[in-house]
Structure 1
Amino acid sequence: MRHLFTITLITFALVLTGCGSSESSDATSSSSTTVDRTVTLHPKKNLLKYKETEFTVAPGETIKLVFENTATSPSMLHNVVVLNTEPKKEVLWRVGEAGVAAGEDQEYVPDDEAVLTATPMADPGETVSVTFTVPEEPGAYGYLCTFPGHYVSMYGTMHVRTDPST
């Protein structure tokens, strides 16, 4: 009986040691990137539009862009693809069409020079995010959903200003 107690105690200690080491490695890796600001976007109900069609950040900031897919229709899969160019229709549509061609395996994110970063695809009820550094150049930068057909009406503008409160 005493032998069984000792084995149980040793097993418990090993389990605790194993759990402790994985937790500390997760904490170390997540603290390596300092986020200056978190920006959260949502879809506009079950429409092919973002609820927030613009947001403002400062040049060079590290942003955590969160997308909360609050849509309820099963067909409302969305992502957020941030561009390193102005939100001109021809660029938005080119990236959107290239996203369709990239397909589901690439989460509809094309290998295009205009793409700065992208969130993963989010099912209804799911929240996804991406952390990135804002371009140093002030100006207007586009973002869009590249799920097939959504790019035609689901887009917005990231304003980069030295004083993001204006």
Structure 2
Amino acid sequence: MRNLLLVFVMSIALIGCGGSGDDTGSSASASSESETASTSVDRTVTITPEGNQMRYAETEFSVAPGETIRLVFDNTATAPSMQHNVVVLNEPPSRDVFQRIGEGGMTAGSANAYVPDDEAILAYTPMSQPGEKVEVVFTAPEETGEYGYVCTFPGHWATMTGTMRVTDSPA
């Protein structure tokens, strides 16, 4: 059983390392850098990982209702296994929704950049390799409240989460 688990983990690591780097997420949610450079945005938010850990350094940010947001994920990690993305949800942050989206990402697999087809997904960045920056431009919900975000690389959902606050007076 232990050897089977090791083979599974190594397979995931090898699959994750073999991508072309051209993943841009869904056509409705994510864009390449050249496409987003020409898009007018109201606010840019940058998120980084906490070193080589499966944690975001920025676990919350605030935006105004309806703002156009450029979300940049700067993967400052150095370990090859620390591939990450940011999947922004249109639901409040909760362990249940993070688990559903995270486990759905594993089922979606590398061919789908570990992003499941789920109505709770508002937007997502492409999967990033260590040292790579990726981004997505999206419109914040009109309704004020808390919305979750999570990394969907296999296993990361359990500790790599955050909250986007939509508020009339963002900081």
Which residue of 81, 85, 91 corresponds with 1:85? 91
5+ unaligned residues in a row in structure 2: which ranges? 1-33
* CA distance in 2 between partners of 1:94 and 1:119 (Å): 18
User: Where does residue 13 of structure 1 map in the other structure?
Assistant: none
Counting matched residue pairs gives 138
Deviation at 1:137, TM superposition (A): 0.3
TM-score (norm 1): 0.81
Which residue of 116, 122, 145 corresponds with 1:139? 145
* CA distance in 1 between partners of 2:81 and 2:98 (Å): 21
Q: Could you say if the C-alpha distance between residues 163 and 149 of structure 1 is closer, same or farther in structure 2, counting changes exceeding 3 Å? A: same
Q: Counterparts of 1:1-166 in structure 2 under 5 Å?
A: 30-31=37-38, 33-165=39-171
* CA distance in 1 between partners of 2:35 and 2:155 (Å): 40
Q: Could you say if the C-alpha distance between residues 28 and 103 of structure 1 is closer, same or farther in structure 2, counting changes exceeding 3 Å? A: closer
Q: Which amino acid aligns with 2:119?
A: E
Q: Which runs of 4+ in 1 moved over 2 A?
A: 27-31
Secondary structure at 1:66 match in 2: strand
Q: 8 Å contact 2:36–2:136 — kept in the other structure?
A: no
TM-score (norm 2): 0.78
Deviation at 1:127, TM superposition (A): 0.3
* CA distance in 1 between partners of 2:124 and 2:144 (Å): 20
* CA distance in 1 between partners of 2:35 and 2:127 (Å): 26
* CA distance in 2 between partners of 1:127 and 1:64 (Å): 12
Q: 8 Å contact 2:92–2:146 — kept in the other structure?
A: yes
* CA distance in 2 between partners of 1:28 and 1:130 (Å): 10
Q: Could you say if the C-alpha distance between residues 29 and 37 of structure 1 is closer, same or farther in structure 2, counting changes exceeding 3 Å? A: closer
Aligned Cα root-mean-square deviation (Å): 1.4
Q: Which amino acid aligns with 2:85?
A: N
5+ unaligned residues in a row in structure 1: which ranges? 1-26
Larger gyration radius, structure 1 or structure 2: 1
Query: What are the Cα deviations for residues 11-37 of structure 1, in whole angstroms up to 9, with x where unaligned?
Result: xxxxxxxxxxxxxxxx89853x31001
